[in-house]
Structure 1
C-alpha cells in the first residue's frame, strides 16, 4: 500500500520548495505566478530507524523501506471570475493529477518576503485557505451536478438504489452550494460506495502545512503543541505571523484535520548539509526532526496506517497496512498466496526483539507469540507467516 499525498497551494506558497525537500527531486521553483497544469511526481522512501536497526543485526542482502508518492500540482486559487460563475473549478487535466491522492497537503504561507510577492499582496493564511477551499468546492460541485443528471435519468426506472443515490447527491450539492466541504456531510457506509466513485477533493483527509519563516519555526511549533493539547491560545494576543499560524491550527482542530509547521526554505538549505550537521542545526533550533519527516508521519496518522516488519538474512522490509488489519490481510501484502493459505503468524514486537537480540532469545524469553487469523497486527510487529503452499 503506497501512500499518495497531493501537495496543493497558492503560487509562491512554497509548495514546490517543500516538494523538493521531501523528495530531493529538484523540481523547478518559480518566483512568479504560473498557470501551468503540469505536475511534479516523486516516490520517496519513508525513514524508519527500525529497518536500519534490524539490518545491522541481520546484515541482509536487501533492505526495503515503505514509500510515499508526492504529487505537486500548479498553484491554485486563481480561477477566473468567469470560471467561478460557471462553477467550473479545476481543469480536467489538473484534477487528474490529484484525484487519486489519498490525502491532501495544503501549503499555507505565513512568512513575508518582498522578494517573493504574495499573489494577493498580503499575508493571510486563513484567507488563502478559504480561497483554495472555494476552488476545491467548485470542482466537487461540478462533479456532483454531472452525476445528478445521470442519476435522475436512472432513477426513472423506479430502482430504489438510484433514488437513495440521488438523495445523497442532493445533500452534497446543497452543502457545496453553501461553500461547505463534502466531509461535513454525514455519509453512511452505503453512501461511501457512491462517494468512492466520485473522488471528491473536499472529502479527502487533509493536513495544513504552514510554511513559516525560519525564526518563527520554534514558536510556531510551540503554539501548535498548545492547541493540540487543548490549551487556550488567543490569536489576537500573539505577534503577526504567529496569529495566522494559531488561526489555522484552531481551524484544523475544529475540522479534525492535521497541521504541521515547516520552513521550506530552511529545510532546502539543511538538505545540502550532512546528516550530522543537519541534526546539530535542528537541535540548536529545538526541533526533533525535519518537517519533511513530520509531513510523512502526519500522512500516516491521517489515513490510520501502521507499519509492520519482516526480517531475515535475505531482506529486512517495512510493510504498510491499515490499523486494525488482521494477520491474514497483512500476510496478503507480502503475497496473495500467503493470505490464502494462512495458518498462523509468528510475531515479535520490534522493542522486544531489540531487548533480546535474536528470535531464539525472544522465543526463550516468551515474547515471540503464535497468533491466529483474528490477531490485529500492531505497529512495529516483526512477523513471519506460516502458510499452506497448496492453497
Structure 2
C-alpha cells in the first residue's frame, strides 16, 4: 500500500504535482481514502483512464462495490439513492434509462432552456456593481445554476435558496460535515419525491413531466429510478455548473495573455471553454468504477469489487497525450478531452453545459471586458469536494 497525499487540503488546492508523481512512478496505485476504510486504485495516465472508462469489466453499479465503499458512501450522504442513477448503472438498465433520458434532451428543448438561462444571466450581470468586489460564485454562478435546474425540472423558482443549501453540502469531503451531507441528501430526496408527486397531478412542459409521460406510456422507468434520476440531475447540475464558472474565470485571470486573446477575438470562446475543461475543469477526479471480476489494468492485477478511481484531471495533464500539458492555451489544436466521460456513460448534458458556459462567458466579456481578482491569488481556496473541482469563492472586480 502506497501512502499518497490524496483528498488532503493540499491536494484539493493543487492536485497536479501529485498527479505528476503518480503518472511517473505509480500509474496504477493502491492507497486509502482519508477518513474511510476504503482502499482505492488510482489510475492516472490518459490511455489507462480512457480505457477504463470504456471497459465493460469496470462497473459503474454500486452493487459491485465493496462493503467498505458502501459504508463510506452512506456516511458521506452520497449513497442513499446513488445506486439507481443512470450514471451508476450498467447495461441493460443503463441502456434503457439513457435511451429514455436522451429522448428528452432534444435540440429544441436545449434551445428553450438556453433562452431562460440567457435571461437569468442578463439579470444577474446587470445587478453587479461597478468596481466593487463581487463573489461571482455567490452572485452569478450559484443562482444561475439553480435557475437552470428549476427551468429544466420545472421546480418552483422560490425553492432555489433551499436547493442551493442542500447542493453546497451534499458532496463535501469535510469529515465534520458528513452528518449534514447525509441530512441534505435525505431532505433533497424527500423534496424531489414531493415534486414528482405534484408533477404527476399537473404535468407540464419540463423534463420531469416528459419522463413521467414516457414512463406511463412505455413503462420504461420505475418510481425509484425516476426519483434517483431527478436527484442525480439536481446534484450533478448544481455543483458542476458553479465549478465550471469558477474554473473559467480563474483560468483566464491566471493567464492574462489568454484573457486578452479572448477579449480581442470572442469567436475563441468555445476553444477557451474546451481548454479550461482539459486544463483545470470541474471533472478532475470523478469516475468511480468497480471490477466485476479479477482483472488487469495497465499490467496491475485488481481484485473484483475493489474501488478504482479514474483520475481524469491527471489524464488531462499527461505529456504522452498533450504537448506542454501544463500550459493553458486556448489555441491548442487538439482539444479532445474526457471531462464529460467516455463510452456509454458519456454525459448527456454536455451540450447544455457547453452552451450555458458559452452564453455566460460571452455576455460577461461583452459587458465587463476588464475584470480582476479582488483578493490575492493565494487567498483563493478550493472546495474539499470528492467529485467536483472548483474554488470555494471567487471575489472579482468588474470594470466596464
What's the TM-score, normalizing by structure 1?
0.25
Rg comparison, structure with higher value: 1
Higher strand share: 1
Relative contact order (alpha carbons < 8 A, sep ≥ 6): 1 or 2 greater? 2
What's the TM-score, normalizing by structure 2?
0.25
